[in-house]
Amino acid sequence: PGSGGSWSALLTPALNYFQEASVLYDLLEQVPGLASYLVGIDVANVETALPNFVFYPAMSLLRGAWRPGAGRTTRQSLGLTFHAGEDFFDLVSALREIDTLLESFRFHEGDRIGHGFALGVNPDWWRLRYGPTTVSLENDVLNRLWEWKLLREGILAPEGAIQRESD
């Protein structure tokens, strides 16, 4: 995770964010009309220090607070903004983070990726500018699994597979 900490060290912030989200969830249940004024949550953090997945349980809970009914539709559910693909050591990990985020929350109208710089980076320019990048073992495994998923789903053609210096 991040620049090298342990996975277990991420449990404490994840639990803290979930507890904070639980308080907000309870307020939304108890204060009539509050959901009409709170229309979105912005998760901004330094991705290389604290991965976005730490926030997933808390944001999933809050997303569930905006249920259809009582005059609300799914498009009026809580809008989410995640800053993803803006702090990264390697381009593939940044793109994987964005894709994972989009799939995890089934983004819809009102949601957005904050900045998402990685989406606009030309891979050839990146390779020339930064050369081979060192990727942590866990990110390398996650990147390769993500690439395999894209190949299996037909999103990435075998000839378009990601080239690595180690291959």
pLDDT at position 22 is: 93
pLDDT at position 136 is: 87
In 3-state terms, the chain is what percent helix, strand and coil (to 5)?
A: 55, 10, 35
Q: Give 75: exposed, middle or buried? Use CB within 10 Å, 0-12, 13-18, 19+.
A: exposed
| Token duo for residue 150 | 């894209």
| Token duo for residue 109 | 């109208």
| Token duo for residue 102 | 């989009």
3-class SS at 43? strand
> CA-to-CA distance for 83 and 101, rounded, in angstroms?
10
Q: What is the pLDDT along the chain (167 residues), one digit of tens a residue?
A: 544 557 788 899 999 999 999 998 888 888 887 877 888 889 988 888 888 889 989 998 888 765 555 445 444 567 889 999 998 889 999 999 999 888 887 787 788 998 899 999 999 999 899 888 888 898 899 999 999 999 999 888 777 566 555 55
pLDDT at position 98 is: 93
Strands (DSSP E) along 78-154, which ranges? 79-84, 112-115
pLDDT at position 38 is: 82
